[in-house]
Amino acid sequence: MHADIDRFLTVLTSERGFSHNTIVAYRNDLNQFTAYLQAPPEEDHQTPVAAWPELTDAHLNRYLLYLHERQYKAATVARKTAAIKSFCHYLTEEGVTRFDPAASMASPRVEKYVPRAVTFEEVDRLLDQPAKKLETNRFESLRDQAMLETLYATGMRVTELVSLNVGDVDLDQSVVRCNGKGGRQRLLSIRPSAVVALTNYLSDGRPMLTAEGEEALFLNHRGSRLTRQGFWLILKSYAEQAGIGNITPHTLRHSFATHALTHGAELRDVQHMLGHVSISTTQVYRQVAVTNGVEGEFSHTEATAIQSTVSV
């Protein structure tokens, strides 16, 4: 049974361009589902499933009830349901099962997620923090300043940020080449303060730890590529120092989009900058910009930089 899951995930990766994080989530969800089928709770009075052709819609309905009884959040159940439905459809297409047992499987309703954006003033406080340790740890200060400025200037995902290589940055043109989901590239403009931060890091910070042949833009203390988890710890520390609660790396992405729309950026431009396939995904930021009452002002130069992103 696990071999079919592995083949399914390979298809999602190679043919459909699913991200690494999605593949990991799907693998965990399908492995949990398989474990349930092979050793179901005694109160279900259900015979263990030894092979996928034995799977029926009754098994799926019982599993949904099992998840609800254990008080999984609706969003989590929705993701697990999506993984199972997609996998069952794959099994049917491949001829492993004669019919799709998930054809009528209901997906739970999930309340529309409204992203949280921090204010302009909070962003300024956050961006001020790395400079405070310039004298005690110059490498960290310059690297962290460059990372935070780049993330907020482009709205890219954290995975995209830590995946950047030195060759992806063109400071003369004030642009960064970002490799997004599904192998889609986009060229993003960066505001002047981000250009300065990256220039300082590349000239005075990164050379302190550069390992021979290392292409990664942002390095850890061992001279290798910084991880998503490493960046999250860095951001969390600076947020605490700045007195900003409940902030994640994605909060800066949300804030970038909200602030850009607040200052007149076109929705299609913000869609491109964020790497959204559907513009409906981007439209939620209009609501955030209106309802959150985001306060503060960019300088004219910064507002222009945010709105001047170009397409690949």
The CATH code of the domain that includes 65 is: 1.10.150.130
Catalytic residue among 253, 254, 259, 272: 253
Hey, which of 97-106, 157-166, 256-265 has the most confident mean pLDDT?
Answer: 157-166
pLDDT digits (tens, 9 = 90+) for 18-27: 778 889 999 9
For the chain, the first-to-last Cα distance in angstroms comes to 42
Q: Which two tokens stand for residue 84?
A: 């199972």
pLDDT, position 145:
97
Q: Is the pTM value of this prediction over 0.75?
A: no
108 within a domain of the structure (yes/no): no
**Sequence-distant (≥ 6) Cβ neighbours of residue 190 within 8 angstroms:** 149, 150, 153, 154, 174, 175, 176, 198, 305
CB-based contact 116:99 (threshold 8 Å): no
106 within a domain of the structure (yes/no): no
Q: Are residues 132 and 50 in the same domain?
A: no
Structural domain ending residue among the three candidates 76, 93, 110:
93
Active site residue 250: yes
105 within a domain of the structure (yes/no): no
Q: Are residues 131 and 166 in the same domain?
A: yes
Across 288-296, average pLDDT:
50
Q: Are residues 284 and 172 in the same domain?
A: yes
Q: Are residues 184 and 234 in the same domain?
A: yes
Amino acid residing at 172:
D
φ and ψ at residue 205, rounded to 5 degrees:
-105, -60
Q: Flag whether pLDDT at 298 surpasses 70.
A: no
Q: How far is CA 11 from the centre of its chain?
A: 21
Structural domain ending residue among the three candidates 77, 93, 109:
93
Q: What pLDDT band is residue 46 in, cutting at 50, 70 and 90?
A: low
Q: What pLDDT band is residue 88 in, cutting at 50, 70 and 90?
A: very high
Structural domain ending residue among the three candidates 78, 93, 108:
93
CB-based contact 146:201 (threshold 8 Å): yes
Q: Give the whole-number percent of the chain exceeding pLDDT 70.
A: 86
CB-based contact 254:285 (threshold 8 Å): yes
Q: What pLDDT band is residue 113 in, cutting at 50, 70 and 90?
A: low
98 within a domain of the structure (yes/no): no
Q: Are residues 266 and 301 in the same domain?
A: yes
Catalytic residue among 73, 184, 250, 268: 250
φ and ψ at residue 45, rounded to 5 degrees:
50, 45
CB-based contact 300:263 (threshold 8 Å): no
Question: What is the tally of structural domains in the chain?
Answer: 2
Among 65-74, 188-197, 199-208, whose mean pLDDT is lowest?
65-74
235 within a domain of the structure (yes/no): yes
Dist CA 77 CA 286 (whole Å): 28
Q: Which structural domain range is residue 282 located in?
A: 120-307
312 within a domain of the structure (yes/no): no
Q: Which two tokens stand for residue 179?
A: 């490799």
126 within a domain of the structure (yes/no): yes
Q: Are residues 166 and 268 in the same domain?
A: yes
pLDDT, position 35:
92
Catalytic residue among 89, 181, 228, 286: 181
**Strand runs (DSSP E) across 139-231, as ranges?**
169-170, 175-179, 185-189
The neighbour count for residue 230, using CB atoms within 10 Å, is 14
Dist CA 207 CA 195 (whole Å): 17
Q: Flag whether pLDDT at 48 surpasses 70.
A: yes
The CATH code of the domain that includes 196 is: 1.10.443.10
Q: Are residues 289 and 143 in the same domain?
A: yes
pLDDT, position 237:
93
Catalytic residue among 62, 85, 157, 272: 157
Across 137-162, average pLDDT:
93
Q: Are residues 231 and 287 in the same domain?
A: yes
Q: Are residues 220 and 166 in the same domain?
A: yes
Active site residue 253: yes
Q: What pLDDT band is residue 261 in, cutting at 50, 70 and 90?
A: confident
Which residue, among 249, 276, 267, 279, has the nearest Cα to 307 in the 3D structure?
A: 267
Q: What pLDDT band is residue 204 in, cutting at 50, 70 and 90?
A: very high
Catalytic residue among 89, 138, 276, 286: 276
Q: Flag whether pLDDT at 122 surpasses 50.
A: yes
185 within a domain of the structure (yes/no): yes
Q: Flag whether pLDDT at 226 surpasses 90.
A: yes
CB-based contact 106:82 (threshold 8 Å): no
Dist CA 274 CA 254 (whole Å): 9
Q: What pLDDT band is residue 150 in, cutting at 50, 70 and 90?
A: very high
Q: How far is CA 123 from the centre of its chain?
A: 19
Catalytic residue among 36, 90, 152, 285: 285
CB-based contact 190:150 (threshold 8 Å): yes
Q: Are residues 85 and 135 in the same domain?
A: no
Q: Are residues 222 and 176 in the same domain?
A: yes
Q: Are residues 125 and 50 in the same domain?
A: no
Dist CA 256 CA 269 (whole Å): 12
